[in-house]
């Protein structure tokens, strides 16, 4: 309600028994070291699921909870809203009015008001938010903008521990039976990853940040990998 003080996310999680004080203290320590949103840190540490986090944020902010993968955006919104903004901000349009330039987008970080303002400035739309998990948004982007099938999405979301050569082999096999112009770009990305030198620490740092922000790896997994000889 307008004028009502909004309860912090961590307080909501504590009140409903989703986390303990010990969990919250550990998450705050991690946030001090690595930065980032506190809710996302709790997810990375495995204390709450992303699904629960998104549900709590939707309730906290008073915005709709959506699943864009199951309810694809209208084609006119896909055509009007560029994919590079979707990928940059981790959002996808779910409804809107092109005449009045009002657009609702699904976001996995709906509490980030700075990102919302930047998105509005760059897109030319008045942006309203809905809450959705990062995975559902990523899959919806692939389907809406690239026409990826369910099987292609599953292959591209292979577990980080899976051998890169196996992933490439599976993609190559799919390419033989399913024609898609995006395969060339996808394979080029894989090839670039294979060529990253061990001494290029800056590039690895940037890549690590991208993986964390995209939810493709947790902080714990990243720390374990960096500590391996």
Q: Are residues 129 and 81 in the same domain?
A: yes
Answer yes or no: is 178 within a domain: yes
Q: Are residues 124 and 173 in the same domain?
A: no
65, 130 contact by CB (below 8 A) = yes
Q: Are residues 123 and 100 in the same domain?
A: yes
Place of tokens 């909870």: 65
Total number of domains in the chain:
3
Answer yes or no: is 55 within a domain: no
Q: Are residues 28 and 81 in the same domain?
A: no
Q: Are residues 167 and 189 in the same domain?
A: yes
The pLDDT of residue 65 is 96
Whole-prediction pTM = 0.61
Q: Which of 106, 137, 168 represents a domain boundary (last residue)? A: 137
Render the burial of 62-96: b for 16+ CB within 10 Å, e for the rest. ebbbbebbeeebeeebbebbeeebbeebbbbbbbb
Q: Are residues 222 and 156 in the same domain?
A: yes
Nearest to 71 by CA among 92, 97, 99, 88: 92
Q: Determine the Cα–Cα distance for residues 54 and 215; give it in Å rounded to an integer.
A: 14
Q: Are residues 161 and 211 in the same domain?
A: yes
Q: Which residues of the chain have pLDDT under 70?
A: 1-5, 148-217, 219-229
Answer yes or no: is 60 within a domain: no
Task: List the domain range (segments joined by +) for residue 40.
Answer: 9-48
The pLDDT of residue 9 is 85
Sheet with 91-97, strands from edge to edge, namely: 91-97, 102-107, 126-131
Q: Are residues 158 and 94 in the same domain?
A: no
């Amino acid at each position: 309600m307008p004028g009502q003080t909004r309860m912090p996310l961590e307080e909501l999680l504590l009140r409903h028994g989703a986390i303990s004080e010990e969990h919250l203290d550990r998450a705050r320590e991690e946030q001090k070291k690595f930065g980032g949103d506190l809710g996302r840190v709790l997810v990375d540490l495995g204390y709450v699921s992303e699904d629960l986090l998104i549900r709590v944020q939707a309730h906290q902010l008073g915005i709709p909870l959506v699943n864009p993968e199951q309810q694809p955006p209208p084609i006119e919104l896909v055509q009007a809203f560029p994919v590079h903004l979707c990928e940059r901000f981790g959002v996808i349009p779910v409804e809107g009015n092109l005449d009045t330039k009002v657009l609702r987008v699904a976001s996995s970080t709906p509490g980030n008001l700075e990102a919302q303002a930047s998105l509005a400035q760059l897109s030319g739309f008045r942006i309203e938010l809905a809450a959705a998990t990062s995975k559902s948004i990523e899959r919806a982007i692939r389907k809406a903008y690239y026409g990826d099938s369910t099987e292609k999405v599953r292959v591209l979301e292979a577990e980080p521990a899976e051998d890169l050569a196996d992933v490439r082999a599976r993609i190559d096999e799919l390419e033989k039976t399913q024609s898609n112009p995006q395969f060339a770009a996808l394979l080029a990305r894989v090839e670039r990853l294979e060529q990253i030198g061990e001494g290029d620490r800056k590039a690895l740092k940037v890549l690590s940040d991208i993986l964390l922000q995209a939810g493709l790896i947790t902080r714990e997994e990243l720390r374990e990998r960096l500590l391996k000889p």
